[in-house]
Amino acid sequence: MIVSLLYKVARKLLSVPSVLLRAQVAKDAELLVLRHENAVLRRQLAGPVRYEMADRVWFAALSGLIPRRRWREVFPVAPGTLLAWHRRFIAAKWHYTARRRTGRPPTRAAIKTLILRLARENPRWGHRRIQGELARLGHRIAASTVWGVLNAAGIDPAPRRSGPTWREFLTAQAEGVIAADFFHIDTALGRRLYALAFLEHGTRRLHITGVTTTHPTGEWAVQQARNLATDLGMRMESLRFLLRDRDAKYGAAFDAVFKAEELEVILSAPQAPRMNARCERIIGSIRREALDQVLIVGETHARQVLATYQRHYNAHRPHQARHQLPPDAQEQPNAAVHDLDARRVLRTRILGGLINEYRYAA
């Protein structure tokens, strides 16, 4: 680029005398050529004549001032060589290779993050579906770029990747899932009781249907299922799935109660309590907050404690998944109270003060 610029400047400067003194221009140019040729020869007496870049620029610039028919007599190189130098200098003016980056521009990090987020939140979307969603958001990139980002992250760009995980399935179907699980209670005298708990995933509403002193049978479990269906009433229509483990206490008659209500029974894998994690967690809460803190005397006492805890759990206990609302609450909590001195906080003791509920006085 510098050589091309120097050549262009030299041509412009030499064109000025050609306009003002046309008669003497050619002779003066010939003299300049001969003088420069002599300088070159004196510089290289010991070896072959080699013209440097500055020499080529000078001869090519002077060629515009000398008639072309005299080039062979005046210049020490062939006219073809002179024209080749001229074309090379002019071509360098339009050469942008050094200023142009090859290949596609790199994909921005924010776009890559968005691609991976769409793939993670939509397991069934392929790279072309993600490309379409990005175009709708105003990011127009090629499908091959999306494919490359997914492939580099170790995500299969095919339209059907792995199906939803168990957590994704339960989250998507939470409003229509009710889970069941048995748990035991050890009395103060070492006797073991059994209870059956149901938990609605959507509302987190707890149902403890019964307690028995003997090992629960299939007939007892069926009766508890019927009791639950009666208690739920019209709310059974909003449920779609019953989630339970493979315990032998659940039989075909137990499942038939729910299938009659058009619920699909889903069995968790053997020895996989995490597949029924929400029910396992509520049973843990029952133990930590009530059963482990009270000496259970017998079946009647256990039934009373569990019924009291169930009312507290459904009507008062806040839940993070429901924005700190209890399962039975339909409205948002009261607005923030800034003047605590003007409102009196009352305490209600549950299970003899084992659990406390607080509310403002009316």
pLDDT tens for 70-90 read 777 677 777 777 677 777 766
Q: 277-310, pLDDT tens digit by residue?
A: 889 999 999 999 999 989 999 999 999 999 999 9
β-pair type (192-200, 206-212): antiparallel
- The Cα–Cα gap between 62 and 151 comes to 60
180 contacts 198 by C-beta, under 8 angstroms: yes
17 contacts 61 by C-beta, under 8 angstroms: no
183 contacts 286 by C-beta, under 8 angstroms: yes
- The pLDDT value given to residue 11: 64
- The Cα–Cα gap between 137 and 125 comes to 16
What is the DSSP-derived secondary structure letter of residue 215?
Answer: P
Mean pLDDT, residues 30-55: 70
Beta bridge partners of 184: 194
Q: Name the pTM for this structure.
A: 0.55
- The pLDDT value given to residue 98: 54
Q: Pick the range with the lowest mean pLDDT from 11-15, 129-133, 326-330.
A: 11-15
Specify the DSSP element, H or E, that contains 223. Answer: helix 218-232
Of all residues in the chain, what percent carry a pLDDT higher than 70? 77
